[in-house]
Structure formats: structure tokens, C-alpha cells
Structure 1
Amino acid sequence: MVGVMAPDTGNRDDWTRPGTYEVAPGVHRVPLPLPNDGLRAVNVYVLRDDDGLVLVDSGWAVAEARSALEAALKELDCSLADVRRFLVTHVHRDHYTQAVHLRREYGTRVSLGAGERASLTVSMTPHRNPLAEQLDHLRLLGAGELADTLAALTGVRLSTEDWELPDDWFHDGQRITHGERTLHVVETPGHTRGHVVFHDTGSALLFAGDHVLPTITPSIGFEAALSANPLGEFLGSLALVRRRPDARLLPAHGPVTPSVHARVDELVAHHGARLDETEAAVARGASSAYEVAAQLRWTRRERRLGDLDVFNAMLAVTETAAHLELLVAQGRLTRSDAGGVRRYATA
């Protein structure tokens, strides 16, 4: 049952509890459930004005998420028909696909960052294995057995019904007006190539999508069209956000927190330490991303690579590769491809 509309007091443990929570005047957080996902929920933000509703992100196109969104809007005496536009931070399924389905029913305008065009084009390819690019990449990273396991699990080709082009594309510096509220579009590639955040400087709010998360570090570069240096892009995007005025952090996963800047500083420090750990693993003799990932620890529980489920093991290996590529760009490591595997060595 959806809880009554209330000020947002969600924390690390209960932010996924269904309901409609006011985070600022005219802004409500609505957590929507995710199917079979360790993240458990995605926050959709409802911006309310006399002209209707604008939503930041939309949720995953599953019946449970639609029902939760309908119930949450009912708490605001509104319905799905009152939603004028979806402002989508990035093209991942839990942010974009429900907007696609609802547009077919209500004609709702859907907007997405221009940098997502390449990944969206790939995702719209008929009868494509949903992890085709990741499987090839894993084999290059020395994780052939992991790729074979994933291939067996994802052998069914998905339809393209969840994927369509948006009505329009966001560009950096664009401004979106909703009533008296103005949102500044800031391109923040890294988590995906076309990720954007929306900065409401007047109310000191940052709708951060997956770019800045309060309790976990975002995955880097998990997308259909792979980026050459996703971690370098991500750190550059963090620096860009850090230079902007501070704001309350309104994340896609996790509770609302007081300061974007404070969390950015923590993320930068984390990746700095991870780069050092990655370089040290290569110095000890690990040469592929898979071998390096096996030497590192994962999640807050300090798990080993072999303790992770197959999907998170894939993310661990590809994130390790992102750190290795940045170390190459910084001149701290060298890279060579031989025998179908990418190898790294100290510079």
C-alpha cells in the first residue's frame, strides 16, 4: 500500500518504502520497484505546477512500477494523463523504458541526452542479444569463462518494444522551464555516454540520476555503445558538478542527502584509491582486467570476485578495465593486445 504523502525522511535503510515524499515545495520523490535488481528501487521525481506534471526519470516498464506510479500520483490528486513530459537522465532500462510505454498511451513528451543516441540505436536493433557488446568486451578483458556463462544466461533475444527514440534530445547548457522553476541541463558522461543531470539553482536541488549516488559508487560504462575512457569521463563530470553551486542531492538510487559537493569529494577519493590499488595489482603481476579484478575486493562487504553473482562480476571486470584505461591515459601503465586479450604492464 502506498503511504501517505509526507516530508522525505528516507535514509539508507528505508528509502525504497513506497510512497509520495515531498523533498522541496512542488517536488516529490516516488520510489518505484525494480524487478530482480539489487538496487531494489529507482527514485522518480515529480515536479508539480498548475500546468501539470513533469517527471525526472520514469522507472522500468513493468506492471509493478506502473501501479506504484499511478498510486503515488493519486496521492497528489493527479493521474498519468497529467504528466506532460519525462526528463530522462540516461538510457538505462530502469530510467527510460516506462516513459516509452506511457508515451504510446498518453502522447507524453520524452526527452533524453543527445549522447545516448548511439546506445539507443544499438538497443533498437532487432533480435539482438542484450549483452552482445559486453560479451565481446569481456573476452578481450581475459574473462572468457565469465562471458560464456553470461551468454548461456542471455541466449534469448529480446524484442525492441522497450526502445524508441525520444521526442527531443538534451544538450549541455539547455534550460528547461516548468512554472517558476528553471532546470539547467548539465552533460555528465561516465555512467553512460549521454548521462545528464538537472540543476535547479534557484531551489539548490540537483536531480542527479546515477551520476552521484549517496551510498554506492555508480557503475562505469555499462551501455550498449561502449566508451573508450568512461572513468576519465566520469571523473571529469564529477569535477564539472563540483564547480557548480552546491545543492541537495536528489539521486536515482538512495536517500536524498544535503550536499552534492560532499558526496562528489567522497567519490573522487574512492576512485583515487582504486586507481592506486589497480596499479599495485599490475605491479604484482596481474596483466588482464580479469586478473586484476580477482585481486581486488568488491562492495562494502569486501567480497572477492568469485563471490559475486555473474552480472555483478561482469560489472566488476569492466569497471576494473575502466581504471586500467585511465592509468594508461595517465602514463602510469602501458597496454598491448595479443592473442585476443588486452594486457597491461607498469610503464
Structure 2
Amino acid sequence: MTSDSGDRDDWTRPGTFEVAPGVHRVPLPLPNDGLRAVNVYVLRDDDGLVLVDSGWAIAEARTALDAALKELDCSLGDVRRFLVTHVHRDHYTQAVHLRREYGMRVSLGAGERESLAVSMTPHRNPLAEQLGRLRLLGAGELADTLAGLTGARLSTEDWEMPDDWFHDGQQIRHGDHTLHVVETPGHTRGHVVFHDTGSHLLFAGDHVLPTITPSIGFEAVLSANPLGDFLGSLALVRQRPDARLLPAHGPVTPSVHARVDELIAHHGARLDETEAAVARGAGSAYEVAAQLRWTRREHRLADLDVFNAMLAVTETAAHLELLVAQSRLTRADVDGLRCYATA
């Protein structure tokens, strides 16, 4: 076990890193995923362990978590509860599997109920909802490519309902720590963060990430205005006392507020770029996404792999929907295609 240095380039290194008294960061691997790792946070007390997020239910993640807990002279049997920020597989599914063996309590935000119910549908295509949405957004060829890559039907073994649901304003006490549950819809409808005001820590999940912008619009049951939800949630977190940022992906950083300000500025600029693309004649989310640049390397849409191209198109749609809500654009569905125009 070592102190967490906050190294932006080495945060995925395996191990157990102390971020505050009684709080440790454990990065778990995400093989073949550009995110590289997911941070699980361990709160330690004489009564056992509480973990914020759980990792993906794969052998590599379980081995890494087991080894990290041994560094704390603990084991998986000492885990009393998982506090899960949202229902994506790299945060939720390992908790489901471990509960079957050890019986620990698993808790999740109430807004995830509908998406989780869809994920539990037997033999569904893992991207069924996204494929239909891509076709509506003008990305039919991209949808066909994805359909060919994800033809296998998913087993439901990774998905079960939690033991209980979080609601905004709840308080969770463990040892010297009191975590305030804050509902932060946007990345997913039921995303929550945990604010430890006494220790000045924010367990942020994917709501606030230090080096990348969280994806918007990738979930089974989508809200009407996910980007509007996300920006509203950022404003809500910005109104709370500042804290150290404990993200799910990336290093621990000193200030939540500083990163929230950067994310709000980014999306403000992106909204302007999106509106300008429509003014130049792009009519669908796919056509707009093709005019924008992606990632810090400024890639074009055609340069992205198929999965990230899907995320780019759905995130573009989220910006377009917010522009419609702001009366800056109009929208109409014509012959199965969603079209946008300047207001």
C-alpha cells in the first residue's frame, strides 16, 4: 500500500493507494477498452469494508481486487456493501457476481431501474437500443457494421436487481465517513455521486472525470435531454463545497470545481460548433458528427473505431437535442430519419 501520488500518466498501475485516512483507491483492469482501468474506492473500518463501485465481472478484475484487499490485510469476505455510482458494466457487474458468493449488500441509484430491467432481458442484442437509435440519427451503415460485430445474444448472468436503491439526500455512514448521496443524471439516468463533506472528498463515478469528458447518450433507456440533465447535474455539484475529485477513470485531482468549470466550458463550445454545423447544411446527427473533431487528437469521425464512432454520433444527438430545447434548432422526424434545422 502506498500514498496516492495523483500521477496523471500512471493511475492504472495495479495496487492499493491511500487517498485519505481510511480510504484507498484500487484500479482494476479493463482489457481491450480505451479507458484502461476503473477505480474502485475502499472505505475501511473495524466493521469491515465498503466499496464504491466494483469493477467489471472478469477474471482479471477479480484477481486484482483480491490482491489489493490482501495488501490491506483483508479479503473479499470482509466487504459489507457495494455503493455503485451507475449501472454500466465496469462499475456494477462484479458486485453482482461477488454477492452470489459472499452475500454483501449492493446499492444502486433508483434512476437506473428501467435500464437495468432492459439489460436483464434474456438473449437480447447488447446494443439493440443503440442500433435502432443510430438508424434514426442517419448512421445506418454504422449500425449495420455494429450489428455484424455484436451478433451474439447476451446472457443475463451479469445483471440482477440491487438490494436497495439510492435516493437524493441519503446519508451513508461508515466509520468516520459520512457520504451524502447526490443524484447526478446525465451520463446515465440514475448516476449518483457520494460527497464526503467531512473529509472533503467526492466519489464522482463517471460524472466528473479529470482528463476526458464522460460519454452522454449511451444507455438502454435514454432520457429526453441527457446533455441538459448532465449540465444541470454539473451545476448542482458546483454549488456544493469543493472537494478532492475521486474519479472512476483517471487520477485523483485536487478540485472538483475546477474540473466542472472546464467541462461546462467544453460543452458550451461544443454546442456552438454543433449549431454552426447545422447552419452549414448538416441535417442529421451523423452528418453533424462528421463535421466535428473528436478526442484530444482532433480525429475525424471516419478515423474512429466503430464503437467510438457510435458514441460520437449519440453524443452529437445529445447536443442537438439540447439546442432544440433551447430553441436554437428545430427537429422533425421524416421517413425514419431525425432532421435538424436552424430555428
Normalised to the residue count of structure 1, the TM-score between the two structures is 0.98
Aligned ranges for residues 197-276 of structure 1 at < 5 Å? 197-276=193-272
Aligned equivalent of 2:50: 54
Deviation at 1:15, TM superposition (A): 0.3
- Measure the CA separation in 1 of the matches of 2:190 and 2:136: 24
- May I ask how many residue pairs the two structures share in their alignment? 343
Map of 1:318 onto structure 2 = 314
Q: Which residue of 1 aligns with 2:280?
A: 284
Residue 85 of structure 1: SS of its match in structure 2?
strand
Residue 173 of structure 2 aligns with which residue? 177
Which consecutive residues of structure 2, in runs of 5 or more, have no partner in the other structure?
none
CA–CA separation in structure 2 for the residues paired with 1:11 and 1:228: 38
SS at match of 1:245: coil
Aligned equivalent of 1:333: 329
Match of 2:144 in 1: 148
Instruction: Tell me the residue number matched to 2:60.
Output: 64
- For residues 233-279 of structure 1, what are the alpha-carbon distances to aligned partners after superposition, in whole Å with 9 as ceiling and x for unaligned? 00000000000000000000000000000000000000000000000
Q: Counterparts of 1:149 and 1:25 in 2: how far apart (Å)? A: 49
What are the superposed Cα offsets for residues 7-60 of structure 1, whole Å, 9 maximum, x if unpaired?
A: 001322100000100000000000000121000000000000010000000000
- In the alignment, is the contact (CA less than 8 A) between 2:330 and 2:341 conserved in 1? yes
Find the aligned partners of 1:286 and 1:144 in 2 and give their Cα distance. 16
1:315, CA displacement in angstroms?
0.1
**Cα distance between partner residues in 1 of 2:32 and 2:225:** 29
Give 1:221 deviation, angstroms. 2.1
Distance in 1 (CA, whole Å) between partners of 2:23 and 2:218 is 30
Q: 2:74 — aligned with what?
A: 78
Q: Quote the Cα distance in structure 2 between the aligned partners of 1:318 and 1:212.
A: 19
Select which of 83, 96, 100 maps to 1:100: 96
Deviation digits for residues 116-169 of structure 1, max 9, x if unmatched? 000000000000001000000000000000000000000100100000000000
Structure 1, unpaired ranges of 5+: none
Q: Which 4+ residue blocks in structure 1 deviate beyond 4 angstroms?
A: none
Q: State the AA in 2 paired with 1:38.
A: G
Q: Distance in 2 between matches of 1:291 and 1:307?
A: 15
1:179-217 deviation line (CA, Å, top 9, x unaligned) = 121100000000000000000000000000000000000
1:82 and 1:306 mapped to 2: Cα distance?
A: 48
SS at match of 2:233: helix
Are the aligned partners of 2:54 and 2:82 in contact in 1 as well (CA < 8 Å)? yes
Does structure 2 retain, via aligned residues, the 8 Å contact 1:52–1:84?
yes
